[in-house]
Amino acid sequence: MDKLQIAYEYVNYCYTQETYEQNVCKALQMLSPDNYVMGLSDTLRKGYRELALQVLGDETMDWIEYWQYECDYGKESMDFQINNTDYNTQNLNLYQYLEITCGLKS
């Protein structure tokens, strides 16, 4: 598995896990509005992040976390520039984003 695939799988894992946790929260809130779950998978996610960080490096993880948190996994429109070329996150899929920002190629 190359670094592009590792980064792609890491982001997809995080997104899927967040979606499942949100669904658990919604189900619990149907029982009582005060019910919610925070950090259900924090231990596993933290370990996975540390492993990805070791394999991918700080700069790549910074770009990945920008995609995850600032861009809401590409849903938010965010402009950035690399090598005097302008990009917008809504015009890119995750593979394209990783290739441009991290220089990762399959």
What's the pLDDT at 32?
A: 86
User: pLDDT 10s digit of each residue in the chain, 106 long?
Assistant: 899 999 999 999 999 998 988 888 888 888 888 876 777 788 888 999 999 999 999 999 999 999 999 999 999 999 999 989 999 999 999 999 999 998 877 6
**Identity (one letter) of the amino acid at 45?**
R
Q: For residue 96, what pLDDT is reported?
A: 94
CB–CB of 104/52 below 8 Å?
no
The angle subtended at Cα 85 by Cα 4 and Cα 67, nearest 5°, is 45
pTM: 0.83
